[in-house]
């Protein structure tokens, strides 16, 4: 049984690219930039939201909260925080089952 925390108050970044300050403050997991220039474009999606990250390499599924979603020329990238141990995870959009704002 997973204890899904409420989304209210979860630090996150939405509607703009993340910065180093966001990562340092726990509001983001990664920064997409080329030198000093941000190259990430925020995805139009609900942030934060519950999700399951499926790591095909390790065959591990992790309950998490998506706190960041951006895209580059290479594709859509999400950052999340594990609800079990607080681990920060980065993955392609295709690695996530998005569950929305209602606790599963």
Phi, psi (degrees; rounded to nearest 5) at 95 = -90, 0
SS3 content of the chain, % helix, strand, coil (to 5): 10, 40, 50
Q: Where are the domains of the chain?
A: 20-100
Q: What is the pLDDT of residues 54-70, one digit of tens each?
A: 998 899 999 999 999 99
pTM, two decimals, is 0.94
**pLDDT tens-place string over residues 64-103:** 999 999 999 889 999 999 999 999 999 999 999 999 999 9
Residues 42 and 23: their CA atoms lie apart, in Å, by 15
């Amino acid at each position: 049984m997973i204890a899904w925390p409420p989304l209210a108050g979860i630090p996150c970044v939405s509607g703009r690219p993340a910065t180093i300050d966001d990562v340092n403050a726990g509001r983001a997991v990664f920064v997409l930039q080329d030198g000093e220039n941000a190259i990430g474009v925020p995805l139009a999606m609900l942030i934060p939201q519950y999700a399951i990250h499926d790591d095909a390499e390790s065959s591990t599924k992790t309950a998490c909260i998506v706190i960041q979603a951006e895209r580059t020329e290479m594709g859509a990238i999400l950052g999340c925080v594990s609800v079990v141990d607080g681990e920060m995870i980065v993955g392609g959009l295709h690695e996530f089952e998005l569950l929305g704002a209602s606790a599963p």
